[in-house]
Structure 1
């Protein structure tokens, strides 16, 4: 595993790269994480893909993970520009190799935005994987609470959450220190909204720590962008092999969102992962990696040794 940096638009983009242990990689898979997470959530999936002969590249989105550059706000368009820059670089480094991009949750929305804002980008990819993400209509989401609460929760989150986060983010030094009871409640909601099975304590603690690393101003601006995200037109005209993966118990971007992506994106195949929630790459990494590997096999059936 190695790290490197790419300069783009005055910013430093942080990449983590893993190459297969022997021989030429049969594909490069670029993994993009979701809201208030980091590239680290793909660790188990990445290890399996590398063992299957693939090169895996991951990145921390602006304001997340290793990205500690001062950032007052951002949106899906800015994230999409960063993703396009990385994908252009990966294609330039291997003009003839198989290149697949995967976006989880907000990362999938940013990838959709990149494809919409950069019309030539689709021609540089061989396939795309939509992992527990959405084509839009996030204002109707229950955001992890029971599905029946969506008519109340959606508008409430849409109006109050960004405003509260913006106020808290106005003075980064004033970020309140989480109280023990608040941490317990937050951890319980995180577990219920993202997992089916109870995650290992270390996994839950890691995800919670990733949430707390993201500045409130970044959280607020991205949430506003997510709430107005609409990629249905892009998906209708996207001429690219696709795989849509979703957990059968996803409460953040429910199965209906993935079904809609599969309806709009011609040639995209929907696969539902059993006993998995929104963070299915942490809960069912073997199933996620196997689905990606099968998808890559269909794109490039011959390995370098067989060619």
Structure 2
């Protein structure tokens, strides 16, 4: 369970397996823990490195800003500190937004790209208004009500019925994130740039993975990313919602492992 100094903060990260490096970035408001079931199934297909992004998990939790650019610079600092000259980069949800910024800075270092339950478009005005309302609610009432409502639509109905422990696991991780980090990340996501044009310039193999019952990322958003990326494959995980790595870890890991093994062929 190592920590490393990156710029002005201490980042916590964990590693699994052996092979070419794979950097996995978690989404909002979670931690590297969401990747553990998948990462442990990768085996020798990759050396998986998953950090707790600043403000999350066991990493430092300074004041803002928490823009996608700030988070991306942390990730680049981690890669440099670990000597990862080239790597496959994966991101879930907000982690995907961070991955886009990393890719924009160092496309030459990417061996591949894995985009899980994320989208390339910037927030619409309606989405920005929802995030603004969420910020105001947290500042007014605290985080409990926001976290409850946020988690409600995150998993599929099947997961909620058959694997209720998944939602409880997600809740435990989300509730540990401080209010100032929730607010700063919501503001950072609201102001993130549009990355659709960037995708057309990323000529590396890519895996776009989405849950078949994801209420947050519509299938057409995932399909649009796969079509924009020159060398992408789209995989839909049946009966999974916005957290396929927790809801269907076996299927998610199998798709990821097949993608990684294809890079070696």
TM-score, structure 1 normalization: 0.77
2:210 to 232, 239, 246: 246
Shift in Å at residue 137 of structure 1? 3.8
Taking the TM superposition and a 5 Å limit, the aligned residue runs for 1:60-75 are 60-75=52-67
Shift in Å at residue 114 of structure 1? 1.7
1:273 equivalenced with 2:237 (yes/no): yes
Partner of 2:132: 159
**Aligned counterparts of 1:263 and 1:54: Cα–Cα separation in 2:** 26
**Aligned counterparts of 1:192 and 1:233: Cα–Cα separation in 2:** 29
Partner of 1:144: none
Partner of 1:143: none
Partner of 1:58: 50
2:219 to 255, 280, 297: 255
In structure 1, stretches of 5+ residues that fail to align are 20-24, 141-150, 169-173, 302-307
Aligned residues: 262
From the CA coordinates, give the structure whose radius of gyration is larger.
1
CA contact (8 A) 2:10 2:60 kept: no
**Aligned counterparts of 2:55 and 2:94: Cα–Cα separation in 1:** 13
Partner of 2:22: 29
TM-score, structure 2 normalization: 0.89
Q: How large is the RMSD of aligned CA atoms in angstroms?
A: 2.4
CA contact (8 A) 1:248 1:255 kept: yes
Partner of 1:224: 187
2:154 to 193, 200, 221: 193
CA contact (8 A) 1:32 1:59 kept: yes
CA contact (8 A) 1:136 1:228 kept: no
**Aligned counterparts of 2:4 and 2:74: Cα–Cα separation in 1:** 10
**Aligned counterparts of 1:266 and 1:283: Cα–Cα separation in 2:** 29
Distance 1:138 1:196, change over 3 A: farther
Partner of 2:10: 12
Render the CA deviation track for 1:124-178: whole Å, top value 9, x for unaligned.
22111001111024337xxxxxxxxxx6xx364143222333x35xxxxx947x5
